[in-house]
A and B are shown apart, each in its own frame.
Chain A
Amino acid sequence: MQIFRNRKTRSVVYQVAFLAVFALIIFGAVHEASTKLAAQGMTSGFDFLHKTTGFRIGFSLIPFDPFDSYLQMLWVGILNTIFLGILSIILANIVGLVIAVFRISSNGVLNDIGTLYIEAFRNVPLILQALFWYAALTHLPPPKLAYSFFDSVFLSARGVFVPSLNVEGKWFAAVALVLIVGLSVLAWFSMSRRFRRINRRGAIQIGIAGLTLATMAGMLVYAREPGSDIISVPALRGLNFRGGVAIPPELSALAIATAIYGGAYIAEVIRAGFLSVGKGQVEAARALGLSPWHVFSRVHLPLAIRAVLPTLINQYVWLFKATTLGIVVGFADFFSVISVSINQSGQTLELIAILMAGFLIMNNTLSFVLNRVNKAIALKGTQLRT
């Protein structure tokens, strides 16, 4: 027993024991699973991914029909999850910022509205809110009696119909890509130190913006179906709308619910950021004669966001995970396509592995990208925070 008194030896023994228990559990699980699978006569492996599904999907960003494979269906689910996640984060951020400003404003009524909002929506589960909005949206009047705004936006039980561009999906994606690239170049040019000394920065900025817009316009004109208008406006034909683009109630319900629920959380984070900005900073900005708007947009907001960005990033990642509620309203997100595939194909273990791997990759990518953003814009060095 003398040898066990040595701390190093003991540590090695413990770790080996830990590893052995872990390996034993894994081995037992694999053994049990393989005997059960063999008993049921099920084949394992990923060959089923290339079989056709025979399934129809309500909303997808890429073309999908019942003759497509499981692989294609999983892609639809992943893209839908990413799309809904990013949409929800953006909407929740807008809502959160507005409510946070209400909460810190010097006006009592705005404070009260902010508090009321947060207490009402933060204390009710997201899934209940999603179900509520879904029920509310599907109980809207049928297309014939739809609420219409300027005869171009329609609210009906079949979804919200809005005008759209008369181009194919892939061209639309290409145009969006051009827009993102243009904005990134513009932001890089405006913020990077490398271009700070260049004369006539304003002209160059306008040039970049103009070039982007011109490219987008050119692509749209080139890509539109010949002889049709660029903008397609929904109009009632028979029992449903034609033209435009339909936002299905499943998508809107989830987006509204996460925007409202996530907004309440994000508002509290941003509010904490506003409170953490030193009083002296704001007072100094005022003393320099900046207008209230400039004090807010150039001093208060940037400092507040930088102070809470790490918390905010956690909140975004959490919100992204929280949007996987598609299955309760029938929106084909990643989780619900996996669930459908398990029911259809019976390949439980493989599909669960895909599900976990998919979420691990998506969430870690999201937090990696956001943390890079945080590092890039965090305040360097120490500063007086009074």
Chain B
Amino acid sequence: MAAASEMKTSSPIMGSGLQPDGLAVRLRRRYFRTPMNAAISLAGMAVLLYLGFHALDWAVLKAVWVSPDGTSAVCRDIAGACWAVIQQRWRIIIFGLFPYDEQWRSMLACLVMIATIVLSCLPWFWKPLRLSSLWCAGFLLFYVLMRGGLFGMKTVLPADWGGLTLTVFLYAAGVLIGMPMAIAMALLRRSEMALVSRMTGALIDGVRSLPLITILFTAALIFPFVLPGWLQGDKIWRVIIGFALFFAAYQAEIIRSGIQSIPVGQEEAAKALGLSYWHRTGRIILPQAFRNALPPTINQLVITFKETSLIVIIGFFDILASGNAAYGTGEWSFAYFEVYIFVALVYFVFVFSLSRYGAYLERRMRFGQH
């Protein structure tokens, strides 16, 4: 309390503190406090306005939105953006190589997966039973829709999946498999048995000091060598396992640091009460550890979403690769800028909303914390 009141008195510009200042006062304080400050503000605003106007001029005012005849002729001599490329090629960007007549399935599956992700952000679902049944249902529905072969739907093998749907699928599957792996690895590393904790530690540190591409590459190339035929599965599953392992190695360290920030007394009290290891871990340690580790976990989830884009290197047709393909024809090769901006916007929407959600959770968590 003392510190808070001191901070208030030490800054005379804070106002009376009784009622919030008006907009004009706040604006003046933020941008025009001293003459020097005002000069910098004006210069900065000029630069921003200049850039903003040019961006607007290019992206909206002088842009061409549709191509009536399906060719790039409308974009020949324009000074603005050629959004017609998106209008013409959006299907390949979003759905990849999925058969044209079946693309409604890919669309629906993508929406199912996004809905599952969004629903699991709601606190109501944060019970083990609810969360696991939600994900089982979501995954099952997604898989049936994408693969087909049931209810008269044509079978589409994973090799033909692509675009945004593949990106979302890879992300969800990687995190879903990676999270239990991460918990197991964190607990094993904390084990009192020296051999177990050392070996898990070596695995985690090894994975963490390799770039993700090398792990995906290894998973795609090495598994066919070292696994017997009945264990191999489709290429996409091998890559998902590699992806999950990478996520798990980072997430395990986050969970471990969450566990370490719990006062030792908690575990000792649980032991004194005679709780078994599983009860201690499941009821006392892990819930608190997850709460402590929530901000870095969200951060890791955000990074992981961006890193799904690396599968383009091992030959998958995710949204980035299909974006490349969308402008890769001779017809549209000049429109790389528009396509990349579109793909970047799609990523931005996902990543930005995820990180905003993380910030909201952090604020929410502060209540009820002692």
Q: List the interface of chain A (C-beta within 8 A of B).
A: 11, 14-15, 18-19, 22, 28-30, 32-33, 36-37, 106-113, 119-120, 123-128, 131-132, 135-136, 139, 317, 321-322, 324-325, 327-328, 335, 339, 342, 348-349, 352, 355-356, 359-360, 363-364, 367
Kindly identify which residue among A317, A348, A356 contacts B214, using a CB–CB cutoff of 8 Å: A356
Given contacts A14-B196, A15-B193, A107-B31, contact A139 B221 (CB under 8 A): no
Tell whether, in the assembled complex, residue B309 and residue A321 are in contact, meaning their CB atoms are under 8 Å apart.
no
The residue from A19, A29, A136, A360 contacting B210, defined by CB atoms under 8 A apart: A360
Name which residue of chain B comes closest to A320, CB basis.
B211
Q: Are A123 and B352 neighbours in the complex by a CB distance under 8 Å?
A: yes
Closest Cβ of chain A: how far from B317's Cβ, in Å?
14
Q: A18-B196, A342-B221 are in contact. Are A125 and B214 (CB under 8 A)?
A: no
A126 contacts B193, CB within 8 Å? no
B-side residues, CB < 8 A to A, are 27, 30-31, 33, 37, 40-41, 44-45, 48, 192-196, 199, 206, 209-214, 217-218, 221-222, 225-228, 306-307, 309-310, 312-313, 320, 324, 334, 336-337, 340, 343-344, 347-348, 351-352, 355
Distance in angstroms from A289 CB to nearest chain B CB is 19
Contacts of B343 in A (CB 8 A): 128
Please, which residues of chain B bring their CB within 8 A of the CB of A11? 192-193
Q: Are A136 and B337 in contact (CB under 8 A)?
A: yes
Closest A-B pairs by Cβ, 6 of them: A109-B44, A108-B30, A29-B226, A321-B211, A125-B309, A125-B306
CB-based contact A124/B41 at 8 Å? no
Question: Does more than half of chain A's interface fall in helix, strand or loop, or is it mixed?
Answer: helix
Q: A14 contacts B193, CB within 8 Å?
A: yes
Chain A's closest residue to B308 (CB) is A125
| Cβ-defined contact, B210 with A125, below 8 A | no
The reply to whether A127 and B312 form a contact with Cβ atoms under 8 Å apart is yes
Report the bound CA distance from A119 to B206 in whole Å. Answer: 31
Does the CB pair B210–A107 fall under 8 Å?
no
Who on chain B is nearest to A29 by CB? Answer: B226
* Among A29, A109, A363, A367, contact of B31 (Cβ-Cβ < 8 Å): A109
Please, which residue of chain A has its CB at the minimum distance from the CB of B30?
A108
> Assuming A317-B209, A324-B211, what are 5 further A-B pairs, CB within 8 angstroms?
A15-B193, A127-B309, A132-B337, A335-B214, A363-B210
User: Which residues of the other chain, B, contact A22 by a CB distance below 8 angstroms?
Assistant: 199
B279 to chain A, nearest CB (A): 18
- Check if B195 sits within 8 Å of A18, measured CB to CB: yes
- Asked if A110 and B44 sit within 8 Å, CB to CB, the answer is yes
| A127 lies within 8 A of B320 (CB) | yes
* CB atoms of B320 and A356 under 8 A apart: no
Q: How far is the CB of A6 from chain B (nearest CB, A)?
A: 14
Contact status of A123 and B209, CB under 8 A, knowing A14-B193, A348-B225, A352-B218: no
Asked whether A107 lies within 8 Å of B37 as measured between CB atoms, the reply is yes
Do B199 and A18 touch across chains, with their CB atoms under 8 A apart? Answer: yes
Distance in angstroms between the alpha carbons of A14 and B192 in the assembled complex = 11
Q: How far is the CA of A29 from the CA of B227 in the complex (A)?
A: 6
Q: Is there contact, CB below 8 Å, between B40 and A109? A: yes
